[in-house]
Amino acid sequence: MKKVKKILIVAGDPNSINSEIIFKSWLKLNNSIKKKIYVIANYDLIQEQFSELNYSLRLKKVGNLNITGESNELKIINVGLKFHKVFSVEKKNASSYVLNCLDLAHKLALNDDVLGLINCAIDKSLLSKKNIGVTEYLATKCGLNNKSEVMMIKNDQLAVCPITTHLDIKNVSQNIKSKTIITKIKTIQKSLKKLFKKKPKIGVLGLNPHNGELKKNTEEITEIIPAIKYLKNLGFNINGPLAADSVFINDYKNYDIIVGMYHDQVLTPFKTLFKFDAINITLGLKYFRASPDHGVAKNIIKNDKADPGSLIKAIKYINNL
């Protein structure tokens, strides 16, 4: 009998809408997917949050991935957490809890019987290091040193990737290097060929307004164009530098993926076009990792307004790998 591969869900930030979207997602999943799901969380916290939200769902505390349950039972691999108020966990406790959950998820995701992991939203300040998100944290756990992993935001119509991720704007320029661009686009091509069985058509944006008018000593001339030429010579289906101020009007439809130089250069127009109809995928890790494309949304906790659509998309995406 073929062994069922598992899907790991890290419940994420305890002070968030995560318990709401986990519950709402569960109601929309079929039994075959439910059997694969293991939530990495504090059992008591989830139980009490569900109770406060008036949710009725059978929970089962399990010690490892070998323990199964009924299809209607949400299996929780318990991680310790000290808390007094269920939606107001002290930051110090929340931070250690989130890090312990991610560390356990990383360890378990390395197993062959795991399809991949999904982390629900996490306030980046809980990860303790400046400019570090889950993408960078898991990349470091995988020994990548934040050099070859790539953040990808994707839906059925488009994917976008930033070369730099959680950097302040003042630090972006100094981190735009040909070597980095080449390394990350190689990761993109390798990953997309594996995931989608196709060679992607890649559009690369410039950094400066109007590509710096291609003036001497701009990043377009010194770093971006040399990287594109190098990759073209290797046979990549790649074009650029494209003008960032106009490509998202219509030209983006000519590409499978648009690669930008910094976070908001590609995420702002993507979300303007598609709102939160997307999932966040990290390319280049030792396992498949995704997350919903939204934040912790503390302002709507307990208001029954959280949309589970992105988490559902992430779960179904991993299930179909």
Q: Indicate whether this model's pTM tops 0.85.
A: yes
276 in the same domain as 183: yes
For residues 224 and 107, give the distance between their C-alpha atoms in angstroms, rounded to a whole number.
36
What confidence category does residue 94 fall into, taking pLDDT thresholds of 50, 70 and 90? very high
Total number of domains in the chain = 2
Q: Which residues contact 34 (CB under 8 A, 6 or more apart)?
A: 26, 71, 72, 74
- Please state, rounded to an integer, the average pLDDT across all residues of the chain: 93
259 in the same domain as 217: yes
Average pLDDT over residues 54-65: 94
For residues 166 and 113, give the distance between their C-alpha atoms in angstroms, rounded to a whole number.
32
Q: Is the pLDDT of residue 156 over 70?
A: yes
What confidence category does residue 128 fall into, taking pLDDT thresholds of 50, 70 and 90? confident
CATH of the domain at 34: 3.40.718.10
Per-residue pLDDT tens digits for 250-282: 999 999 999 999 999 999 999 999 988 899 999
161 in the same domain as 272: yes
250 in the same domain as 231: yes
CB 193 within 8 A of CB 237: no
Average pLDDT over residues 39-62: 96
For 185, list phi and psi in degrees, rounded to 5. Answer: -70, -30
**What is the domain range of residue 161?**
150-282
pLDDT at residue 146, rounded to an integer: 64
For residues 233 and 251, give the distance between their C-alpha atoms in angstroms, rounded to a whole number.
24
Instruction: Tell me the sheet residues that pair with 117.
Output: 8, 289
103 in the same domain as 206: no
123 in the same domain as 6: yes
Per-residue pLDDT tens digits for 217-237: 999 999 999 999 999 999 999
217 in the same domain as 112: no
289 in the same domain as 140: yes
Per-residue pLDDT tens digits for 197-216: 889 999 999 999 998 788 98
309 in the same domain as 264: no
Instruction: Tell me the sheet residues that pair with 6.
Output: 114
119 in the same domain as 213: no
68 in the same domain as 36: yes
Q: Is the pLDDT of residue 130 over 70?
A: no
Pick 67 or 119 by higher pLDDT: 119
Alpha carbon distances (Å) from 151 to 38, 103, 135: 24, 19, 7
What confidence category does residue 189 fall into, taking pLDDT thresholds of 50, 70 and 90? very high
For residues 20 and 58, give the distance between their C-alpha atoms in angstroms, rounded to a whole number.
15
211 in the same domain as 90: no
Q: How far is CA 192 from the centre of its chain?
A: 15
